[in-house]
Homo-oligomer: A and B are copies of this chain.
Amino acid sequence: MIEVTRRLNDRASLTLYMLDQEISYQVIKEHPTLIICPGGSYLFRAKKESEPVALTFLARGYNVVLLNYTTYFEERVDLKIDVPKVDSNSHYPQQLSELVQTLKILKELSVEYKLDLTRLFLLGFSAGGHIAASYAVHWNDYEYLNKIGIDGRDCLKLRGILLAYPMLTGDLGDMISKAKKDTSIKEQLPYLNNAIYGTEQPTLVQKEELNLIHQINKTIPPTFLWQSLQDEVTPVSDSLKWMVKLTELNIECESHFFGSGKHGMGLANSIAAKNSSDEDIACSKWVELADLWMKRHDYINIVEEA
């Protein structure tokens, strides 16, 4: 395995883990590549959605890119006792921009490392799902991208995106303020709008811009989506709208809505669980389902090209 880390700016970086292509003596196998955007409400990056997920898919035969995007908190602190240092420049579309920069860097690295850029997948959890879904709706709209300071030519066509309990609008606070079980998450409320919109009072135009459901279009790649119906942070109804609209547009959207579980479970198994409440056997099946889904899309396209 080769590990390459590249800085994107003074706060963001990417780490690319590449599997050895020589899987056996003189036997070469190119691997698909999965870019991972952990969640964290655009405030921080959740650990359980980073390393354990990266290792799980490396072990299943994917090169992995972990995107350490810019977040509002300069460092994570315990909000019960500390006031976080914040970075007022960290808000949409900063993270989308960093994702596109990541693709640009992958293009550069692809020559040296023989990365197959036609076999890319993108997985986002929660707020990382907002980055992934933003890319999915905008990647082919050079005009919009140009307007927000992104060069559309750096974008790459993906084989698919994977959304785990994604944030699909900027209205994260609306849900969180109503949470009944997962109350510690309410500590995030005073910071959310700044972290997402860059202002405490977003305008209707801003809200509309970050509402990705309203921007669903024909260029979205096939989607794999999963969520717990007991999620108290990102609305299941938003995921359902995503699913329904893609289906209407004839874009495949494999979807798994589990009756058990909660928001933010990551792998949902024992690997990164504090205690058993962080585990759910049913939800944990998403990993194998996602793997099967990617392998199918990886294969479909290879065959089609041949």
Contacts and interface: CB of A to CB of B under 8 A. Distances in A.
Interface in A248-278: 248, 252-260, 270-274, 278
Interface in A32-80: 44, 46-48, 51-52, 54-56, 58-61, 76, 78
A255 B257 contact: yes
A247 interface: yes
A288 interface: yes
A296 B256 contact: no
Interface string A192-204: 0000000000000
A61 to B, nearest CB: 5
Given A3-B3, A240-B243, A282-B289, A272 B24 contact: yes
Given A222-B259, A252-B229, A255-B255, A60 B274 contact: no
A26 interface: yes
Contacts of A260: 292-293, 296
A19 interface: yes
Contact of A296 (B3, B76, B259, B288): B259
A51 B255 contact: no
Contacts of A1: 51, 54-55
Contacts of A252: 229, 259
A29 to B, nearest CB: 8
Nearest to A78: B26
A12 interface: no
A236 B252 CA distance: 12
A22 B52 CA distance: 11
List 6 tightest A-B contacts by C-beta distance, closest first: A59-B59, A254-B259, A55-B59, A23-B272, A255-B257, A282-B292
28 contacts: A1-B51, A1-B54, A19-B51, A20-B51, A22-B47, A23-B47, A23-B52, A24-B47, A27-B274, A55-B58, A55-B59, A59-B59, A60-B271, A61-B271, A229-B247, A229-B252, A229-B254, A236-B247, A237-B244, A237-B247, A237-B248, A240-B240, A254-B257, A254-B282, A260-B292, A281-B292, A282-B289, A285-B289
Given A24-B274, A26-B78, A285-B288, 9 more contacts: A20-B47, A23-B48, A25-B46, A55-B58, A56-B59, A224-B259, A229-B253, A240-B243, A285-B289
